[in-house]
């Protein structure tokens, strides 16, 4: 059973690696997308990601209530955008309950994508600092429940936990 967290910086290859790992899963593959197409650039980015997935995945669009989705063979992409959506909708205090419920469901396979916030500067803005604190907490919660954690660096996977490398 795959329980994988993929973390790393922006454009480090996280989503591509998630798709690569999901190719090995048998059965229907589900993609839980958290992005909201709030402008033209984001619309184009979402379309690009859909094309990359092709018809192999059933796409579920859910910006906030990820806890309502219990599918097997699931990629959640991504926690970073999900947390942003919680802040935008002023539901950021609910992150822990939503995520605990999401993680408590036993799935055949799950791959979760997030950004690593522990390698950057401390933001000057108090809201950005709170966002980083909550995202770091979410990442730690997820990592502790996974059997494999991979850090992507320049398109290369580095095993932090589990794996065969």
List active site positions.
49
C-alpha to C-alpha distance for 128 and 138, rounded to whole angstroms: 15
Which CA distances in Å does 151 have to 11, 34, 154?
Answer: 12, 21, 10
Strands 74-77 and 57-61, how do they pair?
unpaired
| Rounded (5°) CA angle 20-76-125 | 115
Write down the H helix ranges in 4-162. Answer: 14-22, 40-53, 79-88, 95-104, 126-145
Query: How many other β-carbons are positioned within 10 Å of the β-carbon of residue 41?
Result: 9
How many residues does the structure list for the chain? Answer: 165
């Amino acid at each position: 059973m795959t329980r994988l967290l993929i973390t790393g910086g922006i454009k480090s290859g996280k989503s591509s690696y998630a798709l690569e790992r999901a190719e090995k899963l048998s059965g229907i593959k589900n993609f839980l997308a958290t992005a909201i197409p709030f402008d033209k650039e984001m619309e184009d980015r979402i379309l690009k990601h859909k094309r990359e997935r092709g018809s192999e995945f059933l796409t579920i669009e859910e910006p906030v209530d990820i806890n309502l989705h219990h599918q097997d063979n699931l990629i959640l992409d991504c926690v970073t955008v999900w947390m942003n959506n919680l802040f935008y909708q002023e539901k950021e205090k609910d992150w822990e309950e939503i995520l605990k419920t999401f993680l408590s469901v036993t799935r055949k396979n799950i791959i979760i994508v997030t950004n690593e916030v522990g390698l950057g500067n401390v933001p000057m803005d108090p809201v950005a600092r709170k966002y980083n604190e909550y995202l770091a907490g979410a990442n730690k919660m997820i990592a502790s429940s996974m059997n494999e954690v991979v850090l992507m660096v320049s398109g290369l996977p580095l095993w932090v936990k589990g794996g065969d490398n």
